[in-house]
Amino acid sequence: MAYQTSYYQTTSLPIAVPHKQQYAYAPATHGYAVSPPEAPESVTTGSGTYGHSAYSATSSSYAGSSSEYDSTSSANGVDMQEYMQDRFQSAFDPLPLDRTLAVQAQTSGLLNAKQRELMDLQALAQQRLAKSRARLAEGYADAREVKRDLEYTQKRVSSMKTKASRKHPKEYKQARARYPSPEY
């Protein structure tokens, strides 16, 4: 497939570079390309039209243009660390971070409050469970006592019935006929 040269138009636009010492990085070791040489002042300060009439470039239209730097200072007179710190401070807005930290602190406080409330509810539930277990154990003890009383009473009634049937057999048969027992 052949590319049309009129469609892909190559145009060189000037890049404003501050006056500083150029550091070249080796492409094989770091993967960076070598920095381009600085453009002469006539290219960066003038305005011109390159390639297409819609593109015009001036030195003040680029980020980091030479107007931001003192043109009288040499590469040795610029403290890069101070310069980068100033640029960072002017670009960094701590207000969203502060808001985020405030929201995070509020959320953490709410979570801690809910955690404590949950622990209190858990302690209350454990107390109620202990009381319920004690009542259940007491209920089992009461049930055993009632069962013993019922068994004792059943034995007493059975023995009385046996005595009554031996002592008064006629009356016992009449009473059984009149009031039949569910056992027979």
pLDDT single digits (tens) 125-160? 999 999 999 999 999 999 999 999 999 999 999 999
Model confidence at 171: pLDDT above 60: yes
In tens, the pLDDT along 76-131 reads: 678 889 888 888 887 777 788 889 999 999 999 999 999 999 999 999 999 999 99
List the chain domain ranges.
27-70+77-92, 95-178
- Going by DSSP bridges, is the β-strand pair 48-49/56-57 parallel, antiparallel, or unpaired? antiparallel
What's the DSSP call for residue 77? G
- Give the length of the chain: 184
Tell me the backbone φ, ψ of residue 49, rounded to 5 degrees: -110, 130
15, 38 Cβ separation under 8 angstroms: no
pTM: 0.37
